[in-house]
Structure 1
Amino acid sequence: MSSVSEFATWEPVLRLMLADDTDRRSARSARVAGRISRHGWSLAHRGAMSSTARIAVENIQTALARGGVQEIAFRAEVQPDGSTTLGLVWPSPVVEPAVGYPDLGVLVLADGALPEPWLRRPDPVPGAAPAPSVDLELLERTLRERLPDAVGATEEQIAAAEARLGVTLSDELKVVYRVTRVDWVDDFEGAISANNAVGCEISGLEHLNAVDGAVRHPGWYLGATEALRTPPDAAVQGVAGSPGWIGFGSNGGDEFAVDLTPGPAGHVGQVILVDHEQSLGAELVADSLTDFVLGRVREEGHTHHGDGLPAVAKVGTGGLETIEAAADPALEVLSIGAWAGTPFSLAPVAGLPRLRTLTALPGTLADPLEVAGFTGLEFLELGAREWRVLLDAGAVPRTLKAAAIKVRDQDHLPVVDLANEILALWDRPRIIQTLLEGDLGPAA
């Protein structure tokens, strides 16, 4: 990794990113930032990459692979005369990289911390019952006709699976495994036949699993600004996972599950599809396993996220024009974007019981100290100057699970020191930054 810590290695990359620089031509310092990983890069530049820069990037990627390092972030400040300070930010177990962004990333303030939606359990639905289409005799007869030589699971094996999962399987799912236990190890051909008979790549009884919401977490940058929504007419609850979503098969990428915790308009035992490209909710496929096996599937859209008012509000240019317009007891996520007007006061949303995420671009808050009055925040993203105000006042909310520093027209290099101050409040490991000095010469 020694070559990565040499300024000459990075010089072609910096020159590429400064090709259209106007700051130094105007006697101002220029600031650039980006990331290079083993398999890609995020570099802000226009036009094609020069062969020299491409070779430099590939050399850095090779060094990262040899050193067992996934990626490296960098940020540089270049003076008009060419003198340059380059900061290399090494991977940290407490930083979730900001993929596609020049920002440092998300500071995770507790091991395994997740946004609230990925921890939420499904709501009880009193009176939920199996669909009228459930027909245990028809289901068993159909499967035995399709699988005349299949060997089924014993009642003891089914009971063991229920004990492992901590739930009682639906009667339909029990019928399936009484007909075929699906043995992918000792009876591969029989398992393939079971796939054809059931209509998906079916799992063996011992591999039944409850869909874990934590596994679907997309990362804090996306997850912190999401909210759940289960409308009164929803068949499937908009949660990330449930102890009652029993995964029994797949279509090669997405997971089919029997839903024992349906939405208000759903049925116990309905079949849902958990899309691997989605992080919340699931799609209703069939009202029952009987319907699913018989090919009577539904075509309905994915359950909706709570990505709009009143749970999620975006204030600023292109969104709401006042904080008052976002104030609602149901508000969970408040994002303040670009705004050319007077900075906003947060007073209208102070004391809201469910507000857990606040993001605000640099310069958009009238008084950053108002953040100290938010007692339920779990994610906070502010500019460097706003964080400085909170740190100097000892006012950083201690309810936070994660935090981020938004860099815009500010010094990039001190961001790591600022982040380490935040991490220190939670006794988290510090981020390591290597500073290199070099000279790129005056602007062309």
Structure 2
Amino acid sequence: MTSLELPGHSVADFATWQPVLRLLRAAKAGRAGKAGSAEPVRVAGRIGQDGWSLALPRPAPRPGRASQTEDMQDELDAVERVRTALAEAGVEDVSFSATIDPAGAAVLRLLGPSPAVEPGMGTAHPGALILVEGSLPEPWRRLPDPTYAAGPASSADPESLERTLRERLPDAIGATEEEIAAAEARLGVRLPEELKALYRVTRARWEDWDDDYEEADSVFAAVRCELSSVDDLYLADASTRHCRWEQAAMKAVGTRPDAAVQGVVGSPGWIVFADNGGGDRLAVDLTPGPRGHTGQIILIGHEERVGAGLLADSLTDWVLGRERRGPRYRCDEPPLVAYVNRARIQSVREAAHPDLEVLSIGAWDGAPSSLAPVAGLPRLRTLSAYAGTLADPLEIAALTGLEYLELGPQDWRVLLDAGAVPRSLSAASITAYGDQDPLPVVAIANEILALWDRPQIIQTVVEGDLGPLG
């Protein structure tokens, strides 16, 4: 066990956690009807700067009234006490498990952090284990294809665009050639002529509008979007679309022959210049798909992690209201991604295909599956299997190209005991279900991390007394 060293901080003080533990103990006793039970109770959860996950009931609001902050004030106060301590210690997130005996004696185990482990999603269990430092799932490594022989659309007309915008914005302050050149130098990309024409009319700096929202709105109306300043242009490459490993590994990317926009996570040729007011980004696309145009306008959705949608063939078309919406190509389906379960594909054999990249085996009513039909598939890189769905977990050894593996604790135990954990992995996850004790899961995670000599999930034991349950 590794200790969490936080001298001078209160994260490891029992008093910091006392209110949270009292609430959890009371909630668990109430659900089980064991207010006077002689058995110890186990509670667990996660608290971080971005949120928390605690098995606490939320009181129903009175009829005719929405939920109010005061309805859960005890929980908010207890959590804030921990979050303040985390902030003082410079810790983003911590999971915990505690055992509390009937008299109130408690043993609290703080789990984490580890730079090699992502926080769990809404549970005390660890998230993805990053086995290779700095590694990214394959879709996040994929660059756009540079071979498509695309050119600007015939509608692209920088002179007409600039003339139209000057008519709409006669008093706007435009960017100088030096400011445009500075933006190009910062981005490492030459701006297309239409984008230069736009910023020659307005550089879209808030100080130019004296922080006047009405004046800003007039500019946004003229260009039909919430325009970013010339200083805030950036490239929407894959790094701008953060995604957790266990989610990103389940994605696939690809571009159809008839696509206007390449089906990638991001591109060094996507120049973001505006927002649509709802969090989606507008970009000029310099790396279009086979049926696209250089300089076309695309929409990068804030709720999506892959691809973009076509808005217009050119910036001129966009400003003049000549939109051309294009369909998105979905790659999270066969043959690239296959979900085998009772509601979708019915067998691993049916999912097997030379192009298969991601295989997810979920709950179903049949016998456990053999992985023999997908052994040797050249592109298979992700396997996720629900507990009890594999006939023989050791068949995983035949999947020599795996970079991500997600299994339940029992299947991981089989691989670890046999020394058969695939060494091709860049990341892995242990899927725990329900109220499963996180401590055995953390122990397995540390065994896996040790195979790659990665930092362990540290544990800190804190003891204290909550007193009898009132």
Provide TM-score, normalisation by structure 2: 0.81
Which residue, out of 300, 305, 322, partners 1:296? 322
**Counterparts of residues 10-409 of structure 1 (less than 5 Å):** 10-17=21-28, 19-21=30-32, 33-37=44-48, 40-44=51-55, 48=59, 55=74, 58-68=77-87, 69-75=91-97, 87-101=109-123, 103-150=125-172, 152-155=174-177, 157-185=179-207, 188=210, 192=216, 194-252=219-277, 253-300=279-326, 303-408=328-433
Secondary structure of the 1:277 match is coil
Give 1:172 deviation, angstroms: 1.4
Partner of 1:433: 459
Between the aligned partners of 1:345 and 1:82, the Cα distance in structure 2 is 49
Deviation string for 1:358-415 (max 9, x for gaps)? 1111222122122122222121111112112222222222222211111247654221
Between the aligned partners of 2:105 and 2:411, the Cα distance in structure 1 is 29
The 1:328/1:296 distance shift into structure 2, 3 A limit, reads same
The 1:412/1:184 distance shift into structure 2, 3 A limit, reads closer
Give 1:322 deviation, angstroms: 1.4
Aligned Cα RMSD in Å?
3.8
Give 1:260 deviation, angstroms: 0.9
Between the aligned partners of 1:151 and 1:235, the Cα distance in structure 2 is 34
The 1:53/1:367 distance shift into structure 2, 3 A limit, reads farther
Structure 2: where are the runs of 5+ without partners?
A: 1-9, 61-69
Give 1:321 deviation, angstroms: 2.3
The 1:102/1:308 distance shift into structure 2, 3 A limit, reads farther
Give 1:16 deviation, angstroms: 1.8
Secondary structure of the 1:309 match is coil
Deviation string for 1:4-28 (max 9, x for gaps)? 67678525414424644599xxx99
Q: Which amino acid aligns with 1:142?
A: T
CA contact (8 A) 2:204 2:230 kept: yes
CA contact (8 A) 2:46 2:94 kept: yes
Deviation string for 1:75-134 (max 9, x for gaps)? 467999999876432333222122234532111223332211122111235332222222
Between the aligned partners of 2:364 and 2:222, the Cα distance in structure 1 is 58
Between the aligned partners of 1:361 and 1:250, the Cα distance in structure 2 is 40
CA contact (8 A) 1:5 1:434 kept: no
CA contact (8 A) 1:12 1:53 kept: no
Between the aligned partners of 1:53 and 1:176, the Cα distance in structure 2 is 50
Provide TM-score, normalisation by structure 1: 0.85
Deviation string for 1:267-321 (max 9, x for gaps)? 11111121222211112111111111112224455x2331111111111222322
Q: Which amino acid aligns with 1:279?
A: R
Is it true that 1:417 corresponds to 2:440 in the alignment? no
The 1:370/1:5 distance shift into structure 2, 3 A limit, reads farther
Q: Which amino acid aligns with 2:188?
A: G
Give 1:331 deviation, angstroms: 0.8
CA contact (8 A) 2:96 2:111 kept: yes
Give 1:208 deviation, angstroms: 2.3
Between the aligned partners of 2:320 and 2:369, the Cα distance in structure 1 is 58
Between the aligned partners of 1:321 and 1:363, the Cα distance in structure 2 is 16
Secondary structure of the 2:94 match is strand
Moved more, 235-244 or 172-181: 172-181
Secondary structure of the 2:439 match is coil
CA contact (8 A) 1:7 1:436 kept: no
Q: Which amino acid aligns with 1:331?
A: L
Q: Which amino acid aligns with 1:67?
A: L
Moved more, 191-200 or 417-426: 191-200
Q: Which amino acid aligns with 1:280?
A: V
Between the aligned partners of 2:383 and 2:313, the Cα distance in structure 1 is 39
Matched residues, number: 441
Between the aligned partners of 1:28 and 1:296, the Cα distance in structure 2 is 70
The alignment-based identity, stated in percent, is 55
The 1:425/1:363 distance shift into structure 2, 3 A limit, reads same
Secondary structure of the 1:413 match is helix
Structure 1: where are the runs of 5+ without partners?
A: none
Between the aligned partners of 2:211 and 2:52, the Cα distance in structure 1 is 44
Partner of 2:67: none
CA contact (8 A) 2:131 2:425 kept: yes
Q: Which amino acid aligns with 1:62?
A: R
Between the aligned partners of 1:366 and 1:84, the Cα distance in structure 2 is 41
Moved more, 282-291 or 431-440: 431-440
Q: Which amino acid aligns with 1:16?
A: A
The 1:223/1:42 distance shift into structure 2, 3 A limit, reads same
Partner of 2:3: none
Between the aligned partners of 1:342 and 1:8, the Cα distance in structure 2 is 47
Q: Which amino acid aligns with 2:83?
A: L
The 1:137/1:369 distance shift into structure 2, 3 A limit, reads same
Q: Which amino acid aligns with 2:302?
A: H
Secondary structure of the 1:88 match is strand
